[in-house]
Structure 1
Amino acid sequence: MKPGYQQTELGLIPDDWTLAFLGELGTVVRGGSPRPAGDPRYFNGSYIPWLTVGSLTNIPSSQLFVTDTTTMLTEEGAKHSRTLQAGTLVIVNSGAKTLGVAKILSITCCANDGIAALINQRSGDKQFICYFLNGQIRRLREVVAAGNDQLNLNTGRIALIAIPFPSEAEQKAIAQALTDVDALLGALDQLIEKKRNLKQAAMQQLFTGKTRLPGFHGEWTLRRLGDIGATYGGLTGKTKADFGEGEARYIAFMNVVTNVVIDCGTFERVKVSSQDSQNRVRKGDLFFNGSSETPEEVGMCAVLLDDVQDVYLNSFCFGFRLRDGEQAEGLFMAYYLRSTIGRELMKSLAQGSTRYNLSKVALLNLSLRFPTLPEQTAIAKVLNEIDAELTTLEQRRDKTHALKQGMIQELLTGRTRLV
């Protein structure tokens, strides 16, 4: 055992720390939901904020405090719930994907029965406890919670959750260090959101022609896609055994759906023999997902900008190849078809009721407005540069989040001391 440390149910902690149970720090209670759910006598009122599991877990992980809710109760509804005062620590007590999330109330509100609270708290820094609980979510779900399909933490189990307990000064120092990192994460999230909004606004202005880049003028030309290119299908005749093996590679479904530009670093392996009649992808090709559960997500467009060899397309998507010499820029088209204007066009082509499909024929009959090729290239460059800035910010946020997780492991176990 490391000198100066003691073995506990939470692992090694410093000798000068103790273990405390949540139930020793205050009283654990459960929220209450008025019944029946949706009764207008109780819900959609204006008397007091109504905290649900959904509104609590939608708060970013970098935000420790609950500052508002999405709905409110009536005065009668409040009588059938539990009112919690500002400053109370709350924890989600149910749900496989939500159980264990902890926050601190900045408002007085009522909470539903999927939320527990630590009231009449006598000791312990709330932020320190909150950070510890959020760092223990996996353990709470796998070890502490009851149930299989319907995980839950009753008040008795929550009261017996052990907390490492350094001095109050050290608790505050640890909480402050993690708060500083959360502030940085929050600032990065705001910057990313601002940049995304800027991109959407730029797309709206540029693809409607309301804003023209310097040096460009003249009318845009309406062109039918079937007149400038042709479609082709993805892999056919493959079984499960063909995937994950072989020397050939293929572009996965999510690579098309989530990216404007195909990520060539995530190709997956597939067996394709020399006798197979399959369509190889080529630089400049556009790809579309042919079906989706909603019309808003059908026909998402991505473009391949790299030279690749022996690469194919998954069977749930299809490709579009521009004819040689056509005055059309693939990256421009991909951004166009992912813009608000483009998505409305693609949505109008979706067919179905429970699952929506996009046919190759429908796509080929679609007409788009094209500026000159130099203007297409210039517009694509502007949007691509914004995307590059977004990627840099997202990578920085991910690294900061990883740093926070490392700090939680170090600080909340006492391996690194601040006091």
Structure 2
Amino acid sequence: MNAVGLPGYQEDNAASAPADWVVLKIGEMTEVSAGGTPATGNESYWFPPEVPWMSSGEVHKRRIYTTEKKISALGLTNSAAKVFPKKSVVMALAGQGKTRGCVAVLEAEVATNQSLAAIYPSKAFDTDFLFQNLDWRYKELRSLSSGEGGRGGLNLSIIKSIPIELPPLPEQQKIASILTAMDDKLDVIARQIEVTQTLKQGLMQTLFSRGVGTQDADGRWVPHAEFKDSELGEIPAAWDIVEIQSIAEVIRGASPRPQGDPRYYGGDVPRLMGADVTRDGKWVTPQIDFLTQEGARRSRPCPKGTLTIICSGDVGIPSFLAVDACIHDGFLALININEGSANKNYLYHVISSLRQRLDASATHGGVFTNLTTTILKEFKLPLPSISEQEKIAAVLDAVDDKLTIAEKRHQHFQTLKRGLMQKLLTGQWRVNVDASAAGT
């Protein structure tokens, strides 16, 4: 990342922190304390709900103004829970997934459970600077955890021993303001994405039950006037309910055995994986796994544009292949689609909207969920005229395009912020501080 064009920065090529920065451990600067949980069997500790009480999962909010739960004043008095001051930085000591090591800033006085530690505010540092510093070091913090593997946890001693490189306070404040402004931008884009996703859900519910109508002699769309009951709910009278096998052939992917055999794996033929779908969304370019030519012959090669559906694990997620690729036995695909009666984009959207039904139709054995070829063949969809399918797909494609643009912007600003953190929090770039601020 280049400093040119970014006002207020100057390059510092020193290999370590600038000379006017100091390194202090958190425990040398302030108090660190954990919370607690009142006895859940004592109703008087929870009612009336009076004191905001935070659990570790809420740390992902990053700024804590309110909490999902409250405890009573009696519960606070008779437990290890304590109220932490506003502008404390809280860190998750434990928690599922990516919770442990995450941080947030208290924007109100809040009590916490024992899975959170609070770093009290201090005149030695700017709270928002400390938050940004620890947020940037998330992976490092997780590596400090005690215990083995994913069961490890942080503790107060570990947190107190974390060293922080501290510029002069005015510079801390300026750095924090720059990074907070980036967070604000990211929050705006995230809200735009959330609003657009909600809009899409509402549109799908309407379009797959009310449709857009029929076209008159002038090509204008006239809303449907007649509706009928169906096994999928009320739909326009002119629509049909069809099984997928009546409009397309359903095939299942295949995997060469044994897994990892160099005769079949490690070549240059891409093979679709579930993680590719969750990363790319609608149009997927496999980037994780590759087969040899012999491996591809033992798998299921599919051409670019094939509509695939995850059939094991997170079943029912559809996507299109953006390139020629193989699919393994965790995927089904629709091929030889009857283009005279079914639009491929429409099928993508209607399958997306019916994903919960697909999951309910799948077989659930132990920890695995499996959508069989037979289940998908017999799965029923609402089918309008081909022209109405194209119109419905076009409306939803436009929303998807808007989502894609917003998601790419969000990713861009995330990358930009990470670059700024690397430069600003190590002193590689120095910020200009007003003389009046520096003298305070």
Q: Same fold (TM over 0.5)?
A: yes
Task: Judge which range, 199-208 or 158-167, deviates more.
Answer: 158-167
Q: For residues 332-372 of structure 1, what are the alpha-carbon distances to aligned partners after superposition, in whole Å with 9 as ceiling and x for unaligned?
A: 01110111xx2243234223353333222222223322122
What does 1:138-287 align with in structure 2 at a 5 Å threshold?
138-142=139-143, 144-149=144-149, 150-212=151-213, 215-216=220-221, 219-240=238-259, 241=261, 242-255=263-276, 261-264=282-285, 266=287, 268-273=289-294, 276=297, 279-282=300-303, 285-287=306-308
Taking structure 1 as reference, are residues 121 and 255 closer, same or farther at Cα in structure 2, changes over 3 Å only?
closer
Q: Which residue of 1 aligns with 2:25?
A: 21
What's the secondary structure of 1:369's corresponding residue? strand
Structure 1 CA distance, aligned partners of 2:127 and 2:69? 26
Alignment-derived partner of residue 402 in structure 1: 415
Partner of 2:437: none
Name the residue aligned to 1:328: 342
Whether the 8 Å contact between 2:17 and 2:426 is mirrored in structure 1 is: yes
Q: Specify which of 370, 374, 384 is matched with residue 371 of structure 1.
A: 384
Q: CA deviation at 1:182?
A: 0.8
Equivalent residue letter for 1:287? T
Q: Secondary structure at the match of 1:13?
A: coil
Instruction: Name the SS of the counterpart of 1:14 in structure 2.
Output: coil
Aligned AA for 1:351?
T
Query: What is the SS of the residue equivalent to 1:280?
Result: strand
Query: SS in structure 2 opposite 1:302?
Result: strand
**Corresponding letter in the other structure for 2:164:** I
User: In structure 1, what is the equivalent of residue 351 of structure 2?
Assistant: 337
TM-score, with normalisation over the residues of structure 2?
A: 0.80
* 1:288 shift after superposition: 2.4
Partners of 1:401 and 1:69 in 2: how far apart? 26
The change in CA–CA distance for 1:182 and 1:284 in structure 2 (over 3 A counts) is closer
Change in 2 beyond 3 A, CA 1:326/1:399 = same
| Unmatched 5+ stretches in structure 1 | none
Cα 1:415–1:223 change in 2 (3 A) is: same
Identity percentage over the alignment? 24
Contact 2:212 2:391 in 1 (8 A): no
Alignment of 1:274-353 (within 5 A): 276=297, 279-282=300-303, 285-292=306-313, 297-304=314-321, 308=324, 311-324=325-338, 326-339=340-353, 342-353=354-365
Moved more, 262-271 or 390-399: 262-271
Partners of 1:307 and 1:228 lie apart in 2 by 23
Aligned to 1:384: 397
Distance in 2, Cα, partners of 1:76 & 1:130: 31
Superimposed CA distance per residue, residues 251-303 of structure 1 (whole angstroms, 9 cap, x where no aligned partner): 223445676634135374223449957643245543222233xxxx4233234
Unaligned runs of 5+ in 2: 1-10, 225-237, 434-440
Residue pair 1:5, 1:14 contacting (<8 A) in 2 also: no
Within 5 Å, which residues of 2 pair with 1:101-140?
101-119=102-120, 121-140=122-141
Kindly provide the CA deviation profile for residues 64-120 of structure 1, in whole angstroms up to 9, marking residues without a partner as x: x21111111122221111111222222223458433322221122211112122336
The 10-residue stretch of structure 1 (363-372 or 172-181) with the greater mean CA deviation from structure 2: 363-372
Q: Partners in 1 of 2:245 and 2:19 — Cα distance?
A: 74
**SS of residue in 1 equivalent to 2:423:** helix
Larger deviation, residues 238-247 vs 367-376:
238-247
CA distance in 2, matches of 1:14, 1:268: 44
**3-state SS of paired residue (1:20):** strand
Moved more, 203-212 or 384-393: 203-212
The 1:120–1:246 alpha-carbon spacing in structure 2 relative to 1, beyond 3 Å, is closer
1:25 aligned partner, one-letter code: M
